[in-house]
Amino acid sequence: MLGLMQDVPLTVDRILDHAAAWHGTRELVSRDAEGRVTRSSYAAVHADAKRVSNALSDAGIRLGDRVATLAWNSARHLAAWYGACGMGAVLHTLNPRLYLEQIAYIANHAGDRLLIADPACADLVAQLLPQVPSIERVIFFCDRASLPETPYPATAFDDWIAGYPAEYRWGGFDERTACGLCYTSGTTGNPKGVLYSHRSNSIHALMTLQRDALGLCARDSVLLVVPMYHANAWGVVYSAPAVGAKLVMPGQRMDGESIYNLIEQEGVTYSAAVPTVWQMLLQHMRDGGHRFSTLERVTIGGSACPESIIRAFRDDYGVDVIQGWGMTETSPLATVSVPNASVAAKPADEQIAYKLKQGRLLCGLDLKLVDDEGRRLPHDGKTPGRLMIRGETIASAYFGGEAGDVLDAEGFFDTGDVSTLDAEGYMQITDRAKDVVKSGGEWISSIEIENIATGHPAVALAAVVGVAHPKWDERPILLCQLKPGASADAEGLKAYLTDRIARWWMPDDVLFVDEIPLGPTGKIDKRAIRAGLTGYRLPFEAAR
């Protein structure tokens, strides 16, 4: 017997339809590279998205064709996003911070037919086009007056959609139809494409709206710092319109002053970003003696959050920090460190230990830990293992069949992370499998050492990598980027770590660097660090 309920496909166009119909006047605020702020609304973006669908259809774009964007966050970008997805095309977000060779590889692999880019990317596009013959046309997210001069044909976005009706029949296809395409960062080998479905994105939006997740509501003003080219902007491009939250999009300017000004000017109550963005904001707050008047909570993800950030937000500014974990292959949000009943009953300082973990699983997903032979490991909060995940928002394969079969016999996807799970259901990443330091047959967590080192008052950023050792296989070394005007020495850093980490975890060397390299999403780039250490010798070897 089947239920007697209406069978409506879960397609993402229905999200923007709802936002326009029931939250049509709610503001969307965009800031461009020059700092100019423009204002739109869900109703206006919905109308432009319909015009985009008409323009794409006239350009010959059909169901399943890939439409690429190379841009930062803006209302125009959001209109292009829904306009492509609504007609059944696949919205492919390209990351402008990647190397040209990586972007070209990704665009070719995806078979992108049309490219819509920020004007700031005009020179990059000029280098890209000869390498990607599948791209038939270039549009820039701007009006005619801001259209850059280029050696190739290009059209202003506003001109491109002008004259088209704000009516187009969206949907009409299976909810499992491909919706979005986002490539992994390619830290090991070539980037791989994750192909989201309308169903997975719709379900992910509902999952993240839970109070035990991001908990967005119609009263929120959301600063979308997470780039739209980064794994569905953590799903906020769907969850915010679903509830009619105000959206504030900062464009390229991510420095502390620019972020703070937008928070105050637009009454921001919630935001999400990687730790490096929040470190810049907190430094600006301290230097200028500023306070927040509306900000209530922030989500931190992308890499483990140092305790110093959590305490600074909470103790100095009364802002709650929600740590989240996910990856491109998980849509991306999968766990969130919102307290359960027993953790919430603990004193505030005891709750910090749980906030430092990556959190509890969202409904609909399942986790397990396994050893290198695939045997399940206990959830005792102590035993680390390879983190495996499955569920309706988890990738089952990569676009084009890259990497072959990526699921185990039980349908779990290997995240590549090493973690623990405790009795409360909290997951904590101890390392990436490729970054864990294996010393004398035991694992040393680079992440834990980094987080503790970042708590030193002089340290802005810290990174730990393993270096080959003739006896122990590997030993950790610590790289530190100091805060402006601060000073520290190796012995002082080691003294700070003493009693905070196990003795055998103590880094064999401490190196002070002008700048720790960051990847295109703001994470510490350990591949670049290792490349820069070519020829490095541990102190006992250098002394020989």
Residue written as token pair 């569920």: 391
| Pairing assessment for the beta strands 360-361 and 385-391 based on DSSP bridges | unpaired
Is there a catalytic annotation at residue 448? Answer: no
Question: Is residue 238 within 8 Å of residue 197, measured between CB atoms?
Answer: no
Q: Is 114 helix (H, G, I), strand (E, B) or coil?
A: strand
Angle at 7 between CA 363 and CA 411, to 5 degrees: 40
CA distances from 335 to 238, 277, 410 (A): 18, 21, 20
Residue 522 φ/ψ region, left for φ over 0, alpha for ψ in the -120 to 50 degree band, beta for the rest: left
**DSSP letter (8 states) at residue 144:** G
Question: Is residue 340 within 8 Å of residue 425, measured between CB atoms?
Answer: yes
Q: How far apart are CA 44 and CA 76, in angstroms?
A: 10
Please list the residues that pair with 463 across neighbouring strands.
479
Is there a catalytic annotation at residue 443? Answer: yes
From 329, 355, 454, 526, the catalytic residue: 329
Please list the residues that pair with 333 across neighbouring strands.
326
Q: Residue 203: enclosing H or E segment and its boundaries? A: helix 198-208
Q: How many CA atoms lie within 13 Å of 319's alpha carbon, on the beta-carbon side?
A: 28
Q: Is 400 helix (H, G, I), strand (E, B) or coil?
A: helix
From 443, 472, 474, 483, the catalytic residue: 443
Is there a catalytic annotation at residue 357? Answer: no
Cα-Cα-Cα-Cα dihedral sign, residues 37, 38, 43, 48: negative
Judge if the upstream peptide bond of residue 332 is cis by omega within 30 degrees of 0: yes
From 184, 269, 299, 415, the catalytic residue: 184
Residue 104: phi, psi to the nearest 5?
-65, -45
Q: How far apart are CA 465 and CA 457, in angstroms?
A: 22
Q: Is 244 helix (H, G, I), strand (E, B) or coil?
A: coil
Is there a catalytic annotation at residue 294? Answer: no
Sheet hosting strand 459-469, strand order edge to edge: 459-469, 473-482, 509-512
From 438, 442, 498, 504, the catalytic residue: 438
Q: Residue 125: enclosing H or E segment and its boundaries? A: helix 122-128
Active site residue ranges: 184, 329, 438, 443
